[in-house]
Amino acid sequence: MAEKAKQLRCAIYTRKSSEEGLDQSFNSLDAQRAASEAYVLSQASEGWLLLPDHYDDGGFSGGTMERPGLKTLLADIELGKVDVVVVYKIDRLTRSLADFARIVEIFEGADCSFVSVTQSFNTTGSMGKLILNVLLSFAQFEREVTGERIRDKIAASKKRGMWMGGIPPLGYDIPAEGSRKLQINPAEARLVRQIFERYLALGSVHALQRELTRQGKVSKSWTTRKGKAMGGLPYNRGALFHLLRNHIYLGKIVHKDEVYEGEHDAIVDEVLFEQVQRHLNGNARRHRATSNKRMVKAPLTGKLFDAAGEPMSPTFSRGKAGRSYRYYVSASLQQGSSKTDDDAVRRLPAPALEQVVGEACARWVPEHKQPVAAANSVRIAEQGLLIELRDVTVAQVAARLSDEERLVHSTRRECTILLPLALPIRGGRRRIEPTGKHVARPDPVLIAALRKAHSMLELERGSPTIAAAPVSQYDRKVLRLAFLASDIQRAILEGKQPRGLTLERLKKMTIPLSWSKQHEALGF
């Protein structure tokens, strides 16, 4: 009696690159599935069994793995639900040789075979794998050639002044059906001319941005094909620079570095446009001429970050007497955005900060000729500054730390040091106060709680004991203060505890029993 063939669970995968024709009652995906079902049925004697699940991707390119049907199929393969994958043609699965290698690796890991209906081979043998690689190489070659043809067509069309798609710029609407000519939007065109004219009057993109924000002017709004609303946001400086440099407002089309006459009408006349370009170029030259000086004056450029991780860049302002004041300002604040967290430090006086960092680095690594240059990064933290040093002898640095400074991270040649600083608000300005010379600030509430904790204890043979646990939750939390390390309790009584260490904070946190861990947890 003939041995019964092993049952093989077969999954059919179909794909079509475009959405065209998918709404028909019998489309390309249906045709692929019908041919694949017939092939599976022909192999019924070999134990092939068709799975009812559909793995279809309509309107997805074969050059990407980001396809819902393919992702579901690969997930089911990894779960061991599929033994054979059947496709109409190999390029239905993928057109990328690199993607195909990843897919085959998943197949082999799950002991899953791959079969093409119109190209009769599978991946169970070495010859099948060789042929698959050859065919996919040609499929990828065809895809690249198609891409080159599309790029050449776009370049030729732009030379003729045609709009080749994308988001229409402010002042224009998309072309009419069957046309490649942008249509002027009268209301937006007036705003574009206003932006060009006001820039010349104000002389600064920063001032222009602030004025547009005050007036409630926003970027162009549009809706995607999927119905998602986009745009309609306040202008940032980058968008305004791009708008003021855009040759499309002269009635021209730009392709790479070439400018061609466009089919659409101009919004800005050449005289106004050229005046704006000269002013922008003049500002850019002045910016480049002073950039090196600013770098020398701002040694923390590229190294300083606020508590949110945003880079803080150097800037300056002038007082009424013409005196310059230098600051480090967070990127979001420079771009004109506002945050709801009023306590976040986003502007710091540069000279004071550089002095504090420079003095600390000079003490930690005195062998460096430029102390600030020894700092690889400086990040604002709740208790001060986190300063990262690289290419240093960590043991020597640790020996030079003051009592309040501490290593928070270290390797053989790198370390991060917490430099305690106070950044309080004074009259709306933020002032840097090093805590190296600690000023005693006794906290009467915290001291009273510490004394209450000791009053709940009794001494028996020199050791603190307690007869019964306190009834109230508040007393139970306060009692823990009596078991703090002796030097921590002394610091609290002398008012030398770390800033931010309050009774409320202690009540909310878990206090370790180990004295060494208490120092770390409480910032001592």
Locate the domains of the chain by residue range.
8-140, 172-290, 304-433, 439-522
pLDDT of 490: 85
Amino acid 380 reads I
Tokens 């939750």, residue?
A: 473
Which CATH number fits the domain 8-140, given the four candidates 1.20.1630.10, 3.30.565.10, 3.40.50.1390, 3.40.50.300?
3.40.50.1390
β partners of residue 14? 56
pLDDT tens for the chain, residues 1 to 524: 456 678 889 999 999 988 887 778 788 888 899 999 999 998 888 889 999 999 999 888 888 888 999 999 999 999 999 999 999 988 888 877 768 777 877 887 888 888 888 876 666 566 766 766 776 677 677 778 888 888 888 888 888 888 888 888 888 888 888 888 888 899 999 999 999 999 989 888 888 988 998 999 888 887 777 778 888 888 888 888 889 999 989 988 888 878 888 888 899 999 999 998 888 888 766 655 555 454 456 888 888 898 888 888 888 777 666 677 888 888 777 665 555 455 566 788 888 888 888 888 888 888 887 878 888 999 988 788 899 998 888 888 888 888 788 888 888 888 999 988 766 444 344 445 555 445 566 777 888 888 888 887 776 665 666 767 777 888 888 888 887 888 888 888 877 787 667 888 888 888 888 888 888 888 77
pLDDT of 472: 81
Residues near 518 by beta carbon (within 8 Å), at least 6 away in sequence:
484, 485, 488, 511, 512, 524
pLDDT of 149: 86
pLDDT of 336: 59
Q: What is the DSSP letter of 514?
A: S
Question: How do beta strands 8-16 and 84-87 pair?
Answer: parallel
Which CATH number fits the domain 172-290, given the four candidates 1.10.3720.10, 3.90.1750.20, 3.30.450.20, 3.30.230.10?
3.90.1750.20
CA 411 → CA 176, 388, 398, 405, distances in Å?
64, 11, 12, 17
pLDDT of 292: 47
pTM of the model as a whole: 0.43
Rounded to an integer, what distance in angstroms lies between the CA atom of residue 270 and that of residue 188?
19
Please choose, from the candidates 120, 132, 36, the residue with its C-alpha nearest in 3D space to the C-alpha of residue 85: 36
CA 221 → CA 188, 205, 208, 224, distances in Å?
11, 22, 20, 10
DSSP string, 380-437: EETTEEEEEEESS-HHHHHHT--SS-EEEEE-SSEEEEEEEEE--EETTEE--EESSS
pLDDT of 459: 67
Please choose, from the candidates 19, 63, 250, 264, the residue with its C-alpha nearest in 3D space to the C-alpha of residue 163: 264
Query: Residue 213: exposed, middle, or buried by beta-carbon count in 10 A (0-12, 13-18, 19+)?
Result: middle
H or E element that contains 84: strand 84-87
CB 11, CB 85: distance < 8 Å? yes
